[in-house]
Amino acid sequence: MSIHISAQKGSIADTVLLPGDPLRAKYIAEHFLQSPQLVSQTRNAFYYTGTYKGKTITVGASGMGCPSIGIYSYELFTEYGAETIIRIGTCGAYTTELQLFDLVNVDQACSESSFAQYAWGIEGTAIPHQGKAFSIINETATSIGQAVKSCNIHSSDIFYRKSMDTPEVAVANHCLAVEMEAFALFANAQHLGKTAASLLTVSDIIPTHERISADQREKSLLPMMELALEASLKL
């Protein structure tokens, strides 16, 4: 067991899907995995391991923000031997180049966060996806006829802010959307030589104030879940 994950050694798969919300992890396990087993529920961060079309996969919660996913992904990589983590979540679009329900396969995560610098001495504001998962997601999307867009995203430590202007780091790095976790996940994977990707559903269009309703949210995230699971078969 690690400090924050109470799973027994050997109960976490090589490939882990990591939504932020524990209830989303529970939903994926119950609706997509065969014989899912709850292997950890410390702090109500649910982790399940089961099989998808014969492949063993773990799905669990990362919580919100770089500090939280930084902890969970590091322990999954180092304490449980996970080789690949795919973050699956939502993002808000800074531009109408993206539309509600679009799937985004993150190329680079850009941030003003000090996480990477102080944790691992990684300088700069941009960290790319790590390893082959990014390409496999794109290839899988093509094979199943699922549209997906690749772009840079802004991993922000701030959800509510005084100014509604797009932050400078997002403008400088041509980020089309914002979320809160991918930067730390990519930093940990880069430092540890692991594979990491982030697949996101656009849930908000910031300049137009459009957003996915609560009633739409469950079904709207299904294409992202299914694509991540199908891609996992090739990892």
Domain that holds residue 68: 15-232
Structural domain includes residue 185: yes
Which of these, 102, 221, 88, 105, lies nearest to 153 by C-alpha position? 105
Is 146 a member of any domain? yes
Residue 176 lies in a domain: yes
d(CA 36, CA 47): 10
Is-catalytic flag, 204? yes
Tell me what pLDDT residue 163 has: 86
* In-domain check, residue 3: no
Contact criterion met (CB below 8 Å) for 110 and 126:
yes
Task: Establish if 8 belongs to a structural domain.
Answer: no
Closest-CA residue to 226 (of 116, 140, 130): 140
**Total domain count, the chain:** 1
Q: Is residue 199 part of a domain?
A: yes
Taking the C-alpha atoms of residue 151 and residue 174, their distance in angstroms, rounded to an integer, is 8
pLDDT in tens, 132-159: 999 999 999 999 999 999 999 999 999 9
In-domain check, residue 153: yes
The confidence score (pLDDT) of residue 213 equals 87
The CATH number for 83's domain is 3.40.50.1580
pLDDT of residue 215: 79
* Residue 4 lies inside a defined structural domain of this protein: no
Residues (pLDDT < 50) of the chain are: none
Q: What is the pTM of this model?
A: 0.96
From the candidates 21, 107, 204, 215, give the one annotated as an active-site residue: 204
Measured in degrees and rounded to the nearest 5, phi and psi for residue 174 equal 55, 45
